Amino acid sequence: MSSAIIVGGGIVGCAVALELAQAGVQVTLIERDCLGSGATAAGMGHIVVMDEGEAQLKLTLYGQQLWQTLTAAHPQRHEYHECGTLWVATDAEEWQLVAEKAAVYRQHLIPCEILDAAALYAHEPALRAGLVGGLLVPNDSVVYPPKSAVYLWQQAEKHAAKLVYGEVRSIQANAVQLSDGRQLHADAIVIANGQRCIELLPELPIRAKRGQLVITERYPNLIKHQLVELSYIKNAHASSGDSVAFNLQPRPNGQLLIGSSRQFDRTDRQIDQQLLSTMLRKAIDYVPALADVRCLRTWTGVRAASPDGLPLIGQHPEQAGLWLNVGHEGLGITTALSSARLLADQMLHRPAALDLQPYLPRGLQQEQR
């Protein structure tokens, strides 16, 4: 394989571009708007090790390690900030989860610290009274993904990668057709355009999960860690309906990002006031001082969700030369670098650091052909 076209200039596409270009592949990246402007710009940029299953944990942990390497030289270029994640327990049931979660992390040698109520308030005095404790995972961090996407791209450009602005209309064998009539050819095509992949390949088992976020003015002293409710996975990953889960992030500049919410199959940009209200009510419940915090802006973004929550990384099961890196749901920033590495390993016949089996493209929908 000597050339590749990558569809989608988000964080995943840019990471794949760098992996392939570095290995000597002639890369062409196609972006419809500007680099890092889709889900990459809409998310929180939380680099977090998630433990909803072994495969997810390994992919996110691998991703986190690659992020640490990437950002080590110039952390401020990525607005990288190791604020840690503090999982907050509200009751006895969630306190039980703290112990279980800690056990899993420790088994994988991931540093973590169980906090009782007193320790929790010492770390985060703005949390409401009556909480039972939490789990601090200090190596989790935040980045500003649009800048990282451009950084990755600039590195790829040094290896002769080319950027083409345009909208891909269809995929053929070893070629893509743009809506303005241009046709581009390469040995391999990589689909890395998030939820829009189903417009090109309707057989992919990807559904839109829309989220809404709020960003505030600068309040540098309110919280120090990314605060997430312990029932996050339970609340965030229901298989249908609208849901909210408390997730509050301190940006390095003092701004706060307030999340999170999920809505299936919606891709429009109209704010859902009801869901926003529910989400913010929950945030105020956890951190009462948020009530008076000034909001600057709200927006929506679309996650690409697979049925089992794991991304599809590898060759299309039925089309040789067509490669996929999609379906990262809410973890696409964390898993961008690890998934790009794993994809490149497959394309270049290199040994991979993880067992690839759980991530290989799967579950194609036959009836939609």
Partner 1 sequence: MSLNLVIVGAGPAGLAAAWSASQSKANVTLIDQYDQAGGQIWRGGTHAAPKRYQHLFAQQTELRYLNKTHVIGANADHLFLATPNGPQQLAFDRVILANGARELFLPFPGWTLPKVLGVGGLQALVKGGLPIAGKNVVVAGSGPLLVAVASQLKQRGAIVKAVVEQAPLGQLLRFGRSLAGYPSKIGQAAQSIAMLRNTPFYPNTWVVAAEGAGAVQQVRLSNHHSIECDYLACSWSLIANTELAQQLGCKLEHSFVLVDRGQQTSVNHIYAAGELTGIGGEDKAIVEGQIAGFAATGNYQAASQLAHKQAQARQFSQQLATSFALRPELRQLAQANTLVCRCEDVTFEQLQNQPSWRSAKLQTRCGMGVCQGRVCSSATQYLFGWGQDSVRFPIHPVSVADLVMESV
Partner 2 sequence: MKQIHISINGTRYQVAEHSNLAAVLMTNAIANRRSVSGEPRMAVCGMGSCGECRVTINQQAHQLACLQQCSEGMEVQCEP
Task: Please state the closest distance from residue 216 (CB atom) to partner 2, in A.
Answer: 9
Under 8 Å between Cβ of 241 and 278: no
Q: Smallest gap, in angstroms, from Cβ of residue 292 to partner 2?
A: 6
Query: Exposure of 183 by Cβ count < 10 A (0-12 exposed, 13-18 middle, 19+ buried)?
Result: exposed
Cβ at position 254, least distance to partner 2 in Å? 10
| Cα–Cα separations (whole angstroms), residue 335 to 66, 125, 326 | 9, 32, 11
Question: How many Å apart are CA 253 and CA 47, to the nearest integer?
Answer: 17
For 154, half-sphere exposure in the C-beta direction (CA atoms, 13 angstrom radius) is: 7
Using the minimum distance from each CB to partner 1, give the nearer residue, 170 or 267: 267
Q: Measured between alpha carbons, how far is 325 from 176 in angstroms, rounded to an integer?
A: 17
- Per-residue b/e over 41-59, b at no fewer than 16 CB within 10 Å? bbbbbbbbbbbbeebbbbb
* Least separation in angstroms between CB 218 and partner 2: 8
Amino acid at 278: T
Least spacing, CB of residue 256 vs partner 2, in Å: 12
In the complex, the smallest distance separating the C-beta of residue 142 from partner 1, rounded to whole angstroms, is 15
| Closer Cβ to partner 1, 295 or 348, answer by number | 295
Q: Of partner 2, partner 1, none, which one does residue 263 interact with (CB within 5 to 8 Å by kind)? A: none
Decide: residue 179, CB within 10 A, 0-12 exposed, 13-18 middle, 19+ buried. Answer: exposed
How many other C-beta atoms are found inside a 10 Å radius of the C-beta of residue 143? 25
Copy the structure tokens of residue 298.
């709200």
Cβ atoms of 197 and 326 within 8 Å: the answer is yes
Closer residue to partner 2 (CB): 23 or 293: 293
Q: Which is nearer to partner 1, 146 or 311 (CB)?
A: 146
The vertex-191 CA angle with 187 and 195, nearest 5°, equals 170
Is 100 or 217 the residue whose CB approaches partner 2 more closely?
217
Task: Closer to partner 2 by CB, 290 or 312: give it.
Answer: 290
Residue 369 binding partner per list partner 2, partner 1, none, with a CB distance cut-off of 5 to 8 Å that depends on partner kind: none
Q: Which is nearer to partner 2, 164 or 293 (CB)?
A: 293
Give the DSSP H/E element, type plus range, for residue 191: strand 188-191
Instruction: Please state the length of the chain.
Output: 369
Give the one entry of partner 1, partner 2, none that residue 36 binds, where binding means its C-beta sits below a cut-off of 5 to 8 angstroms depending on kind: partner 1
Q: Which entry of partner 2, partner 1, none binds 150, CB below 5 to 8 A by partner kind?
A: partner 1
Contact residues for partner 1, defined by CB under 8 A? 33-37, 41, 146-147, 150, 214, 216-217, 258, 269-271, 273-274, 276-277, 280-281, 283-284, 290-299
Closer residue to partner 2 in complex, CB, 294/349: 294
Pairing of strands 141-142, 46-47: antiparallel
Q: Residue 110: name its binding partner from partner 1, partner 2, none (Cβ under 5 to 8 Å by kind).
A: none
Residue 46 amino acid letter: H
The binder of 299, among partner 2, partner 1, none, by C-beta within 5 to 8 A per type, is: partner 1
Q: How far is the CB of 143 from partner 1 (least distance, A)?
A: 13
Nearer to partner 2 by Cβ, of 24 and 220: the residue is: 220
- What is the binding site for partner 2 (CB under 8 A)? 217, 219, 253, 292, 294
CA distance 185 to 175: 4
Shortest Å, Cβ 294 to partner 2: 5
Smallest gap from Cβ 21 to partner 1, in A, equals: 21
258 with 290: CB under 8 angstroms? Answer: yes
C-alpha torsion sign, points 29, 35, 40, 46: positive
Instruction: Report what 34 binds from partner 2, partner 1, none; CB cut-off 5-8 Å by kind.
Output: partner 1
Q: Amino acid identity, residue 110?
A: I
Residue 239 interface partner, choices partner 2, partner 1, none, CB cut-off 5-8 Å depending on type: none
Q: Give the one entry of partner 1, partner 2, none that residue 219 binds, where binding means its C-beta sits below a cut-off of 5 to 8 angstroms depending on kind.
A: partner 2
